[in-house]
Amino acid sequence: MSRREQILAEMGLAPLWHLRGAEHAAEPELVTPVADPRPAPPVPIAQAVSRVAQTVLEAVSAPAATPAPRDAAAKGSGLAHMGWEELDQAVKDCRACGLCKARKQTVFGVGDREADWLFVGEGPGAEEDERGEPFVGQAGKLLDAMLGSIGLQRGQDVYIANSVKCRPPGNRTPEAGEIAACHPYLERQIELIKPRLIVALGRPAAQTLLNAEIKISSARGRVFDRHGIPVVVTYHPAYLLRNLEDKHKAWEDLCFAVDQMQALKKN
């Protein structure tokens, strides 16, 4: 394996996996990219992540006489050795994308750092930006209720994080490049927590974690493998606040996740 492949593997950014049909949900299929002469469509999250990784690798591989940018260096060789405090500070210092310009503070994550359960959302909202903690607004109250419905509690065997650590303007969905810029930080959080199960809250979070295009409707009720960690996909609480009729689907997803966790603990 080349040095490039080793670094990509360490960051969890390679290879690019595409998901098969439901009957092979636990068996990702490796697809070799084929050149397409048609005009390129908007860059999806998976491709954006890979492109950022390539930039990081080029910076890390540069001669010592040419210092790499701070963010690139942090996300390259240094990030893999960071503990919680160093990682938190690296996020606070990050200027890798435009979200840093309007933020009041970064939203790193909160909870049990040795949790079995990891819940990953999209990005901070206005109240999260004020307080520096994920899911503290109305969506956060709903998430707490969702956790309570399956016997869980914020901070107790549960860690909560987001795909991006800064608030997107107007609470919009994070763009692919913004998610890609923050991806190494989330990767390192997962490495430190070592959760037994990850619950992806919403499509951007699911696509970030699985490095593939995802539709919530077809991903529900399935277990995806992310480098040996099972991932279950459900709706984001903010979506459920706007679509109350889908709350029962989220309840089904949570029950499904509980079944998966029970099975994991028996093994």
Asked if the model's pLDDT at residue 127 lies above 80, the reply is yes
Q: What is the pLDDT of residue 20?
A: 39
Give the CATH fold of the 3-31+41-266 domain: Uracil-DNA Glycosylase, subunit E (3.40.470)
Mean of pLDDT over the chain: 80
Residue bearing the bigger pLDDT, 53 or 174:
174
% the chain with pLDDT above 90: 66
Question: What's the average model confidence in pLDDT over 233-257?
Answer: 96
Low-confidence winner among 1-10, 101-110, 134-143, 188-197 (lowest mean pLDDT)? 1-10
CA dihedral over 5, 179, 103, 101, signed as positive or negative? positive
Q: What is the pLDDT of residue 103?
A: 94
Q: Which amino acid is at 222?
A: R
Asked if the model's pLDDT at residue 15 lies above 80, the reply is no
Question: What's the average model confidence in pLDDT over 76-105?
Answer: 90
Measured in Å, how far apart are the chain's first and last C-alpha atoms?
A: 32
Q: What is the pLDDT of residue 46?
A: 52
Q: Model confidence at 193, in pLDDT bands (50, 70, 90)?
A: very high
List the domain boundaries for the chain: 3-31+41-266
E-strand stretches of the chain: 17-18, 29-30, 110-111, 117-121, 158-162, 197-201, 224-226, 229-234
Asked if the model's pLDDT at residue 199 lies above 90, the reply is yes
Neighbouring residues of 256: CB distance < 8 A, sequence distance ≥ 6? 221, 232
Asked if the model's pLDDT at residue 213 lies above 90, the reply is yes
Asked if the model's pLDDT at residue 24 lies above 60, the reply is no
Q: Please write the tens of the pLDDT for every residue from 30-65.
A: 334 444 445 445 455 555 555 544 544 343 333 333
Asked if the model's pLDDT at residue 73 lies above 80, the reply is no
Neighbouring residues of 122: CB distance < 8 A, sequence distance ≥ 6? 162, 163, 164, 173, 174, 201, 202, 204, 205, 236
Q: What is the pLDDT of residue 171?
A: 86
Neighbouring residues of 142: CB distance < 8 A, sequence distance ≥ 6? 237, 240, 241
CB-CB contact of 16 with 211 (8 Å): yes
Strand bridging mode 224-226 / 29-30: unpaired
Question: What's the average model confidence in pLDDT over 193-218?
Answer: 95
127-144 burial string, b = 16+ CB within 10 Å, else e?
Answer: ebbeebbbbbbebbebbb
Asked if the model's pLDDT at residue 101 lies above 50, the reply is yes
Question: What's the average model confidence in pLDDT over 71-84?
Answer: 68
Asked if the model's pLDDT at residue 178 lies above 80, the reply is yes
